Structure 1
Amino acid sequence: MDPVVIGLTFLAIFVVELPDKTFLATLVLATRYRPILVWLGVGLAFAVQTTVAVLLGHAVSFLPDDAVRTGAGLMFLAGAVILIREGRGHQQAAAEETPPTDRDVHGLRAVVASFVVLFAAEWGDLSQLLTISLVAKYEQPFSVFAGALGALLVVSGLAVLAGRQLQRFVSLHVLHYVGAAVCLTLAAFTAYELLT
């Protein structure tokens, strides 16, 4: 495993997921169910999603290098555009609803509910697309898996533990813009590699 690829993947996925709908979904679930049960369900969903993304990325890596780099660069650019648009939307949003609590739900039911919500929300999500791109680009599936899953688990842990506190200090739109900057940096780096 390559620690540089693990670190790069962790950073890219972390900043993209922090302002993402999955962070907010985890936060909302943690207000309804016991946080540890939410984190377990969400973690299982992320493990399955990351495995699928790594396998798809590995399959893509058999394509010609220039095609893979071009595709990865375009995905990074698309990710930056998506994050900027979401950042603007959150910046303009005025109110946020607080869901009713349902903390008396225990055990397997809360884990399964959390798994299903995040499993459905992650299909085609930016972090999954970035994971596919990073595996195809670096051809280090285990390193990318470790970095991506680690970032997703940390973000979901932050959501269940300190999500509301974090939003008091850092605006959601700022996190979107930081994620967009990371995507633009990755796109520029990929374009540089393609041209040299």
Structure 2
Amino acid sequence: MEAFLVSSGIVALAEIGDKTQLLAFLLAAKFRKPLPIVLAIFIATVANHAFAAAVGTWITSLLGPAALRWVLGLSFLAMAAWTLVPDQIDEGDTKLAKYGVFLTTLIAFFVAEMGDKTQVATVALAARYSSLFAVVAGTTAGMMLANVPAVYLGEKIANRVPLRLVHGIAAAVFALLGLATLLGAGARLGL
């Protein structure tokens, strides 16, 4: 349960103001069909985060507990710094409209998520926790918590969310996870 809750909370916070959330706003404004957009975001996220979590799990099999603790701790600290950098959307992420609402969203969201903060966080979380399913379910829930309101409420909430504060909270959570990991908080898990 801890893996699910931590994963969903971190990703929900990290996703606010992220490139993929900006993409969700743009797709909603362009197509004005929220249900296929939300469904495509869900499927793209599950596929992307399942891959990322598998990589994180694989990394744990390569590294010994001491090396893994350092890699994870430093990764979480790097994520804290990266979270404070504002994202921008690439024009190429929205030029797929010829494929229809669902397929455009699916492709654009999957590609935009590659190497994104939340995908990298999923790799680290899967390496930190031993439950691949809980991490994928949690990170997917976090993505949906941040993106479903973006699709349905769009501009109404975009201007009311203090992005700096949210990014600061997400960065603080990543930093705390990093420090806790470096200080041996995962020792009972073999990290």
Asked whether 1:112 is paired with 2:103, we answer yes
Corresponding residue number in structure 2 for 1:48 = 47
Separation in 2, partners of 1:162, 1:68: 41
For structure 1, which runs of at least 5 residues remain unmatched after alignment?
91-104
Within a 5 Å distance, the mapping from 1:1-196 to structure 2 comes to: 3-33=1-31, 34-62=33-61, 63-86=63-86, 109-193=100-184
Provide the secondary structure at the position in 2 that maps to 1:85. coil
Q: Quick check: 1:66–1:194 contact (8 Å CA) kept in 2?
A: no
The structural deviation recorded for 1:11 is: 0.7
Aligned residues: 177
Paired amino acid for 1:32: K
Query: Percent identity over the alignment?
Result: 26
Paired amino acid for 2:10: A
Paired amino acid for 2:79: G
Moved over 6 A (4+): none
Q: What TM-score results when the alignment is normalised by the length of structure 2?
A: 0.85
Paired amino acid for 2:83: L
Corresponding residue number in structure 2 for 1:102 = none
For structure 2, which runs of at least 5 residues remain unmatched after alignment?
89-96
The structural deviation recorded for 1:128 is: 1.1
Could you give the per-residue CA deviations for residues 109-148 of structure 1, whole angstroms, max 9, x where no partner exists?
A: 1001011111111111111111111111111111111111
